[in-house]
């Protein structure tokens, strides 16, 4: 008889527990709230929806919380993935969620790598490039959220 793989052991533990999957789901959602909430607040500031405060200060205040949220959402998401990885890998909503997640992370990395955030002074208009990154960020993160919800229905 073959020994179970770690993925099979995890799937068995998740599927055999009445609380592990729902708990991981709650933690995943809370992590996502910490990812998206601060990011969207920052993006709205870049878009000029609000003009209060220095963008650099807002970035220092909000963006670390997004990283904390990602650190919470990722392991919880891996637990959820472990419950039925085969079905998830063939689920179009899950696959699109992963693509949008990679695009959202790439968009954020490109914005920060450009160095433009360090040059934004209080009271000055935000140039077009960071505003485009902000608009793309909001669309991509909302897409991640929508696809995450759609996984159960596709």
Residues 46, 126: contact at Cβ < 8 Å? Answer: yes
Selection from 5, 1, 141, 149 nearest residue 80 by Cα = 149
pLDDT tens digits for range 83-110: 888 999 999 999 999 999 999 999 999 9
- Rounded CA-CA distance 94/90 in Å is 8
Tokens, residue 120: 């934004």
pTM: 0.87
- Residue 31: is its pLDDT beyond 70? yes
- Measure the CA–CA gap between 1 and 59, rounded to whole angstroms: 55
Pair 80, 21: CB distance under 8 Å = yes
**Tokens 């997004």 label which residue?**
66
pLDDT tens by residue, 56-67: 888 999 999 999
* Residues 6+ away with beta carbon under 8 Å from 7: 82, 85
Residue 121 has pLDDT above 90, yes or no: no
**The pLDDT value given to residue 73:** 97
**C-alpha Rg value of the chain to the nearest Å:** 18
Residue 146 CB-half CA count within 13 A: 9
Question: Is the per-residue pLDDT at 1 higher than 70?
Answer: no
pLDDT at 136: 98
Count other Cβ atoms within 10 Å, centred on residue 59: 18
């Amino acid at each position: 008889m073959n020994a179970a793989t770690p993925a099979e052991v995890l799937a068995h533990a998740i599927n055999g527990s009445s609380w592990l999957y729902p708990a991981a789901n709650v933690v995943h959602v809370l992590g996502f709230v910490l990812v998206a909430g601060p990011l969207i607040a920052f993006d709205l500031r870049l878009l000029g929806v609000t003009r209060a405060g220095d963008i650099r200060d807002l970035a220092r205040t909000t963006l670390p919380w997004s990283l904390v949220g990602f650190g919470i959402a990722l392991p919880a998401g891996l637990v959820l993935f472990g419950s039925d990885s085969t079905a998830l890998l063939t689920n179009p909503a899950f696959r699109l969620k992963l693509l949008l997640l990679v695009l959202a992370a790439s968009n954020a990395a490109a914005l920060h790598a450009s160095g433009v955030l360090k040059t934004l002074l209080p009271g000055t208009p935000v140039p077009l490039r960071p505003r485009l990154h902000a608009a793309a960020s909001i669309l991509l993160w909302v897409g991640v959220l929508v696809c995450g919800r759609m996984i159960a229905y596709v």
